[in-house]
Amino acid sequence: MGISRPALGLYLTATYPSTRRFLEVLDKVRDAEVDFLEVGIPTRNPKYDGPVIRMAHRGAELMGLDAVKAVDDYSKYSRVPVLMGYVSDYLNSLNDVAKVAKDVGAATVLFPDLIFDYPELIGKYVEVMRSNGLALSFFISSKTPYRLIRSLSELKPLFIYLGLYAATGIKLPIYIEQNVATIRGIVGDSFLVVGFAINSPDMVRSLIKAGADGVVVGSAFIQRISDLNDALSFLKWLRGGLHE
């Protein structure tokens, strides 16, 4: 299944700004050929999201898994579709999320708060993903313990996602390339996705050069979503950074 290297991914919150518009965006995204697509499950508590994506969660037409189910097969729109949700919303229904993910053609479910707030659920997560025929994926921060990163890599996830900043869409003066290079050295040959606040091909280029296999854009795309042509040419512009 794997994701091609180097990869550009796109994050969208399901049914934002409306179900109809979300479907329109997906149609266009198919032609833009993003290498992977992350579909956010709308929630009332988007903990690690910055203002733009928080707004997208608030503004989604449907909430939770109902929003995800607005599309019957995401693999029509991207080679590797991925669901992304907060595990705090699904503590007792992990299996339901996995089932829906399988039904809508997603490859895995990424829970950004799993290792931080519910490390005791990692084993359960692995079991549920596997028993539903889904791949694993893990979200880490720059300060995640090396030993934990190594043990997550050993589980052969589809990818490990490094959040570059403290929240989506908000840049801070952080040496992100240094952090990517350090983490690259720890994840071994796991596919390393990086994201949060990516908004230029130069940034994409230097992150790939530092050792990322893939980059994800979210806030910067969603900000442009009211003008789809603008949003798509932005995506194309970013893609330019993938190659030297």
Which residues of the shown chain bind other proteins in the complex (CB under 8 A)?
45, 47-48, 50-51, 54, 115-117, 119, 140-148, 163, 165-167, 170-175, 178-179, 182-183
**Residue 63 or 148 with smaller CB distance to other proteins:** 148
| Beta carbon of residue 142, minimum distance to other proteins (angstroms, whole number) | 4
Q: How far apart are CA 163 and CA 168, in angstroms?
A: 8
| Residues contacting 70, CB < 8 A, separation 6+ | 14, 15, 19, 22, 23, 62
Q: Are strands 137-141 and 159-163 parallel, antiparallel or unpaired?
A: parallel
| Beta carbon of residue 24, minimum distance to other proteins (angstroms, whole number) | 29
**Residue 146 or 237 with smaller CB distance to other proteins:** 146
Is 227 strand, coil or helix? coil
**Residue 23 or 174 with smaller CB distance to other proteins:** 174
| Residues contacting 156, CB < 8 A, separation 6+ | 136, 190
> What is the DSSP annotation of 16-71?
-S-HHHHHHHHHHHHHHT-SEEEEE---S--TT--HHHHHHHHH-SS-HHHHHTTS
| Beta carbon of residue 30, minimum distance to other proteins (angstroms, whole number) | 33
**Residue 90 or 165 with smaller CB distance to other proteins:** 165
Q: How far apart are CA 237 and CA 167, in angstroms?
A: 24
| Beta carbon of residue 68, minimum distance to other proteins (angstroms, whole number) | 22
Residues known to be catalytic:
38, 49
